[in-house]
Structure formats: structure tokens, C-alpha cells
Amino acid sequence: MITLIRDQNSVIFVIWFIFYILSPHVQLYFRMRTINYNMYQLMCQVNEVISFENTLKVLRTVFSSGLLTLESFVIYGKSGFKTKLEYIENQYFPFQDVGSIHAKFNNNETRNKVSVIIFSNMKLKISGGLSNVSADHMGYIERMTVRVTSYFSMTTASSSLSLINAQIKIKMSPVIFRKFLYSLQESRKFFSIKEPTLNGRGRISCAKVFPFNGRRGHFSVDPKGTVQLFGFKCIDEVNKSVGEFLDIADAHIKSISSD
């Protein structure tokens, strides 16, 4: 009986292994699980006309709502983030001079921070951490958007991601780092590559790999294998770019190993 079970498990393993080797979609799925998303930013249009007086009242009286706990808030004037305004209870306050209000929250479930900037034009800029979110990152972002707008008794008309940051790890060492960058250049899958410089006592700094023309989104590649992704527009864009990047990284490691 034990022998039979072992044989059945062996057959199942062989079938799974063949399917894994032959299917690029399955390979991509398992590789995508290595992406660590760590930060997002979006613009949210709300249905309600924003009153800074009402917003300040909420911030001063509601310290916790659902999973969100208020940590701090700052009032800025219309000249941008250079001028801070101080609110003193029972004293005159010039709400007409307010340009934006910044509030910082903590998600009590994931321990991720959430930052919100409230503007007068019915828009909120929401950013937050993703490091403690294991799956369904877009679902988490959508839920946090609803929680933030609900805190201010607002409803979302529309929202659009403006930034996703993430991180991956690859097999890399300073010895083969320059050759790897050459492989990236030869692939012609990336718009430009900014070579690293020597920093300090001969330490090689990170290279910047730009997948898109005219955009600041890029891979920051460390000689020891840490790859950070900055300024991507959505999860799908990250997945596609990482897939192409890993194809080249895997091929490069195989060629080095075979030499």
C-alpha cells in the first residue's frame, strides 16, 4: 500500500514537472510571486464638494474609523508645502487661505501607513505601503480607497493609479554585473540603460534600466542582486516588465554557468 502511494505521488510529480517546464505561463506565474510590492499612489476624484472646515472637524474629532487610525495631520497654505497654518480652537482661522490638508493614517490590520492629501478641487492623493499585503494588491488598494473616502464621509467618483513601487531579487554578483548590463542592452527590450558609477571606495552604485520612452519609471539594479522598481503605472505593467527582465537575467545566469 505504501509503495503504491509513493508510485502515485511520483507520477503526479512527473506530470506537474513536465507541465511546469513546458508552460511559459506557469513559469511566469511562479516568478511573479517573487515580486514584493511596497508602495502605491493614486489620484481619487470624489463626488462631494470639499469643505476644509468640515475636513478639519473630522480630523479633530474622529481618531479611528474601521481599520484606519489617525496619526497626524498638517494644514498647508495656498503657496504649496512651504507654508504651514496652525489651527487654534476657539480662535479665528482663515479657511480661505488653506491650499491642502495632509493626513497620515495607520492600517491596524496590515500595519501599513496610508497618506492622504486633500485638495479643494474634489481630489484626494492617496499613497500607502503594500509590504504586508500578500496577495490581491489591486483589491487592497481599492478597499483602502473606499476606507479613506468613507472616513471623510465622501464617495469615490473615479480613481487612477499614478505610481507602483516594488522589489525583486536576482542571482547577481559584482563580478558579472557589467556583463549582465551588456546583456540587457543587447536584448533591445529596454529604452535606455544608465551605467553605474564608482561610489566611495570603489563601490559600484546601482544601474538604472528604463523600459519606457519619456517616463521616469525604471529598474534600479544593485550589483548584489537587489532590483527595485520605481514609478510604474499599474500591477500589469510591473508584471510584464519583470517578466521580460527575468527572461534576460535567467538566460544570462545559464550562459555564465555553462562557460
131-152 pLDDT per residue, tens: 889 889 999 999 999 999 999 9
Instruction: Map grid coordinates 495607520 to a residue.
Output: 106
pLDDT at 251: 85
pLDDT band at 201 (very low <50, low <70, confident <90, very high): low
- The last residue of one of the domains, among 162, 197, 222, is 162
pLDDT band at 10 (very low <50, low <70, confident <90, very high): low
C-alpha cell at 82: 512651504
How many CB atoms sit inside 10 A of residue 209's CB? 23
The count of domains in the chain is 2
Residues 158, 176, single domain; the answer is no
C-alpha cell at 210: 528604463
pLDDT band at 172 (very low <50, low <70, confident <90, very high): confident
In a domain, 131, yes or no: yes
Residues 75, 157, single domain; the answer is yes
pLDDT, mean of residues 228-238: 95
In a domain, 242, yes or no: yes
Residues 50, 145, single domain; the answer is yes
In a domain, 105, yes or no: yes
Domain region containing 64: 38-162
Q: Between 93 and 197, whose confidence is greater?
A: 93
- The last residue of one of the domains, among 134, 162, 190, is 162
Q: Radius of gyration of the chain from Cα atoms?
A: 24
pTM for this predicted structure: 0.80
Residues 54, 126, single domain; the answer is yes
Whether residue 64 has pLDDT greater than 60: yes
Residues 157, 46, single domain; the answer is yes
Complete DSSP assignment for 58-90: HHHH--EETTEEEEEEEEEETT-TT-EE---TT
